Structure 1
Amino acid sequence: MTPTRTVRLADLTDLTQAHETVGPRAREVHQRLRAEWGPVAPGELSPDVRCWFAMGYAEFSEVIRNEEVFSRNGDNWSAVQEGRIQPDMPIYPFVTTRQNSFHNDGELRQRLRSPIDRALSRVDEHGYAAQVRGICNDLVDDMLERGEADLVQDYAVLIPLLSVAAMFGMGPEVGDSMRKAAHKVLGGGQLAQEGVIELAVEIVDHIARRRRDPREDLTSHLIDDPGLWDDNEVMEAMIVMIIAGNELTIATITQTLLLMLSDDRFAGRLRGGRLDVDQAIEEVMWRDPPCYNITPRFALRDVELGGQLIRKGDAVVPCIAAANLDPLMTGDDPWLEIGNRAHMSWSAGPHSCPAQRPGTIIVQAAVRTVVERLPEVSLAVPADRVERHTDSLSYRYPTSMPVRFVRTLS
Structure 2
Amino acid sequence: MPFPRPEPGAGAGAAPAGPPPGCPAHAAGAGPGGGADGLRRLFGPEADTDPMRLYEKLRSEHGPVAPVLLPGDVRVWLVLGHRENLEVARTPSLFSRDSRYWHAMREGRIPPDHPLAPLTTWQPLCVFADGMEHQRLRQALTDSLSRFESRGIRRYVIRFTHQLIDGFENAGQADLVEQFADQLPLRVITQLFGMEEEYGPQLVKAAKDMIQGTETAVESNDFITDTLQRLVERKRVEPAHDVASKLIEHPAGLSDDEVREHLRVTLVSANEPTVNLIANTLRMLLTDRRFRATLAGGHMTLPDALEQVLWDEPPMTTNIGRWATGDTQLAGRKIKAGDMLVLGLAAGNVDPAVRPDLSVPLHGNRSHLAFSAGPHECPGRDLGRAIADTGLDTLLSRLPDLRLAVPHEELRWDSALMSRRLVALPTSFTPPRQAGRARPGETSMSARQPLPPPQPVPGAAVGTQTRRPPPPGEAPAAGAVSPSEPARGTGWAAVKRRLRGRGR
Question: Is the structural similarity TM-score above 0.5?
Answer: yes
Shift of residue 13 of structure 1? 9.0
Give the aligned partner of residue 402 of structure 1. Answer: 426
Q: Deviations over 1:5-45 (max 9, x none)?
A: 2222237994765xxxx8xxx3x654543343221111111
- What is the letter of the counterpart of residue 399 of structure 1? V
Shift of residue 333 of structure 1? 3.3
Give the aligned partner of residue 307 of structure 2. Answer: 282
1:327 matches 2:352 = yes
Q: Deviations over 1:199-238 (max 9, x none)?
A: 2232222223323332222111111013243222111110
Equivalent pairs, count: 401
Query: What are structure 2's unaligned runs of at least 5 residues?
Result: 1-18, 29-38, 433-437, 440-504
Residues 41 and 73, structure 2, Cα contact 8 Å, conserved in 1: no
Residues 34 and 41, structure 1, Cα contact 8 Å, conserved in 2: yes
Give the aligned partner of residue 114 of structure 1. Answer: 139
In 2, Cα distance between the equivalents of 1:199 and 1:379? 34
Determine which of 262, 269, 289 is the counterpart of 2:287: 262
Q: Deviations over 1:226-277 (max 9, x none)?
A: 3243222111110110011111111111111111111122122223433221
Determine which of 347, 352, 365 is the counterpart of 2:372: 347
Determine which of 381, 386, 406 is the counterpart of 2:411: 386
In 2, Cα distance between the equivalents of 1:110 and 1:12? 40
Q: Select the structure that is richer in helix.
A: 1
1:8 matches 2:32 = no
Determine which of 198, 201, 205 is the counterpart of 1:180: 205
Distance 1:14 1:369, change over 3 A: farther
- What is the letter of the counterpart of residue 43 of structure 2? A
Q: Deviations over 1:69-124 (max 9, x none)?
A: 11222221112222222444432221111111122333332222221011122224
Distance 1:189 1:374, change over 3 A: closer
**RMSD of the alignment, in Å?**
2.2
Question: Which SS does the other structure have where 1:295 is aligned?
Answer: strand
Shift of residue 188 of structure 1? 2.5
Provide TM-score, normalisation by structure 1.
0.91
Shift of residue 278 of structure 1? 0.8
In 2, Cα distance between the equivalents of 1:369 and 1:389? 27
Determine which of 229, 243, 249 is the counterpart of 1:218: 243
**Structure 1 range deviating more: 100-109 or 319-328:** 100-109
In 1, Cα distance between the equivalents of 2:269 and 2:182? 14
**Structure 1 range deviating more: 217-226 or 204-213:** 204-213
Q: Which structure has the larger Rg?
A: 2
Question: Which SS does the other structure have where 1:34 is aligned?
Answer: helix
Runs of 4+ that moved beyond 6 A: none
Question: Which SS does the other structure have where 2:134 is aligned?
Answer: helix
**Structure 1 range deviating more: 392-401 or 290-299:** 392-401
Question: Which SS does the other structure have where 1:403 is aligned?
Answer: strand
Residues 115 and 218, structure 2, Cα contact 8 Å, conserved in 1: no
Give the aligned partner of residue 371 of structure 1. Answer: 396
Provide TM-score, normalisation by structure 2.
0.75
